[in-house]
Amino acid sequence: MKALKDKAAKKIHHSAKEYHQSFKRKMLTKLNLLFQSRGGSFYGIGYIFTLLFLEVKTFVEEFAEFEFTVAGIVSQIIQHIIHLSIESVLNIVYAAIWPLMIFKHFSKPYNFIILIAIFITYLILRKILKNRSFKDYLNIPEKTVQQIIEPVIEQTNHQPDELDTLLEQAEQQQLDHWRSHPESCLALLLLLSFFSKNKSLNQNYCEKIIQEAHQADMYKHLSFKQQCFFYLPLKLSQKPALMKRAKKIYNKLNKKSGDDKLWFQAFSQQYQLN
């Protein structure tokens, strides 16, 4: 009985730890991609601050209006979910004009204090990131990432330095922090699906990585060819839903292949996408 309790406790602890790491990684990824998508500027910091403020404000207001009664609770939940969804879309629009929103929601002198705080935050981030990239702060070696990606994309036989060590770390999920950045996430997938000899054993892990990365819109920050390789593990999946998703994704990639049309055709034949 004690052994069963210990086993259950370890499982709960592992699940909680995994959830915490996943949440932390997702938040870090979202904030980084959001910041970079807004030019990594003072405007970007203001956009993030305003969006977070509006989202929290919306949620608190919706929660305060919720009537905790049994009667009609289902309709209430549906109504609030719909309203939250609409408000979230509007918040994205409002965040784009964040200076006006700050003056709308905060009176003097707080609006000016917030603007100054945002500007100071921007200056600090700019100084931090001046000579180092986001990957540096995640302890992701840029050279190693490129050594993994380039041979696969360019179809060469070159292997990255310390491949065995990297493979061991990847398969033991010790490179999970690589999942926080688009290119390093791709590199991790390539390690598991191209360089590894245990591709089938890594399949579930690859699928989990892709699904989380896709939800974070990481693919938008990869080149066309990189996107093609990014989703390959889904093609190898034995799960009908993922195989169907892979087919849809590659159909979309085919439509936007443009100048890479011939390359994509060769890629499709090589990996039997049709």
Mean pLDDT of 175-197: 86
Please check the confidence at residue 13 and state whether its pLDDT lies above 80: no
Please check the confidence at residue 196 and state whether its pLDDT lies above 50: yes
Residue with the bigger pLDDT between 212 and 71: it is: 212
CA 216 – CA 219 distance, rounded (Å):
8
Neighbouring CB atoms inside 10 A of 106's CB total 15
Burial of residue 120 (CB within 10 Å: 0-12, 13-18, 19+) is exposed
Residue with the bigger pLDDT between 273 and 246: it is: 246
The helix (H) or strand (E) run that includes residue 213 is helix 199-215
Please give the span between the terminal C-alpha atoms of the chain, in angstroms, as a whole number.
53
Q: b vs e for 199-214, b when ≥16 Cβ sit within 10 Å of the residue's Cβ?
A: eeebbebbbebbebbe
At 185-194, the pLDDT tens digits run: 899 999 998 8
Query: Strand locations in 27-166, DSSP E?
Result: none
Mean pLDDT of 49-54: 87
* Cis before 109 (ω within 30): yes
Mean pLDDT of 225-230: 91
User: Are 45 and 35 spatial neighbours (Cβ–Cβ below 8 Å)?
Assistant: yes
